[in-house]
């Protein structure tokens, strides 16, 4: 199963559409900033399941800031990252991942793509798909009970 991970689209729907067309995912995760972009992308690709969370620019107080998902046998937390202070460090995110026994911790907010493994948890920041100069996204592949995570330049 291939999962496309997007964050910080900031109104750039065309970049998101191109990422979907390049990766042909079975699922899309949008990690916030901009909620409306995720809704528009879902309208473009109604047959691809999508999960999304609000970012710090989304003004969605009634929506959960984070969601726990099960991707196959893997426990995954999706969030924008601002509530975990990811611009400063991954310390709080690391504590949360240990406490919740996460296999994946997905976040955005910093606009900097990153893959890092700490203990049992793989941290993924797909960067910013909305960046006009250097848009990036993440891909999660789950095959034969194994997890592969990477970032890519659009």
Q: pTM here?
A: 0.97
CA gap 58, 31 in Å, rounded? 11
Q: Are 109 and 87 in contact (CB under 8 A)?
A: yes
Task: Identify the CA nearest to 9 among candidates 28, 51, 29, 37.
Answer: 37
Using CA of residue 30, residue 129, residue 89, residue 60, what is the dihedral sign?
negative
Burial string for 14-42 (b: 16+ CB within 10 Å, else e) reads: ebbeebbeebebebbbbbbbbbebbeebe
Q: What does the mean pLDDT of the chain come to?
A: 97
**How far is residue 115 CA from its own chain's centroid?**
12
Model pLDDT for residues 89-106, shown as the tens digit of each residue: 999 999 999 999 999 999
The neighbour count for residue 93, using CB atoms within 10 Å, is 22
Model pLDDT for residues 34-92, shown as the tens digit of each residue: 999 999 999 999 999 999 999 999 999 999 999 999 999 999 999 999 999 999 999 99
Structure tokens at 87: 């611009």
Q: What is the pLDDT of residue 2?
A: 98
Q: Which residues pair with 115 in a beta bridge?
A: 124
Q: What is the pLDDT of residue 29?
A: 98
Q: What is the pLDDT of residue 3?
A: 98
Residue-range domains of the chain with CATH: 2-153 (3.60.21.10)
- For helices 35-44 and 13-23, angle between their N-to-C axes, nearest 10 degrees: 50
Model pLDDT for residues 112-154, shown as the tens digit of each residue: 999 999 999 999 999 999 999 999 999 999 999 999 999 999 9
Q: Give the pLDDT band of residue 18 (cuts 50, 70, 90).
A: very high
Q: Which residues pair with 1 in a beta bridge?
A: none
């Amino acid at each position: 199963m291939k999962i496309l991970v997007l964050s910080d689209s900031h109104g750039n729907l065309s970049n998101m559409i191109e990422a979907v067309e390049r990766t042909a995912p079975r699922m899309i995760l949008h990690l916030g900033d901009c909620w409306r972009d995720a809704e528009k992308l879902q309208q473009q690709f109604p047959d691809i399941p999508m999960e999304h969370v609000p970012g710090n620019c989304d003004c969605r107080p009634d929506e959960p800031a984070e969601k726990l998902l099960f991707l196959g046998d893997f426990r995954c937390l999706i969030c924008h990252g601002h509530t975990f202070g990811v611009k400063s460090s991954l310390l709080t995110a690391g504590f949360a991942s240990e406490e919740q026994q996460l296999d994946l911790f997905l976040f955005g907010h910093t606009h900097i793509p990153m893959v890092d493994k700490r203990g049992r948890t793989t941290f993924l920041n797909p960067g910013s798909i909305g960046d006009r100069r250097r848009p990036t996204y993440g891909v999660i592949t789950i095959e034969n009970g194994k997890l592969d995570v990477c970032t890519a330049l659009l």
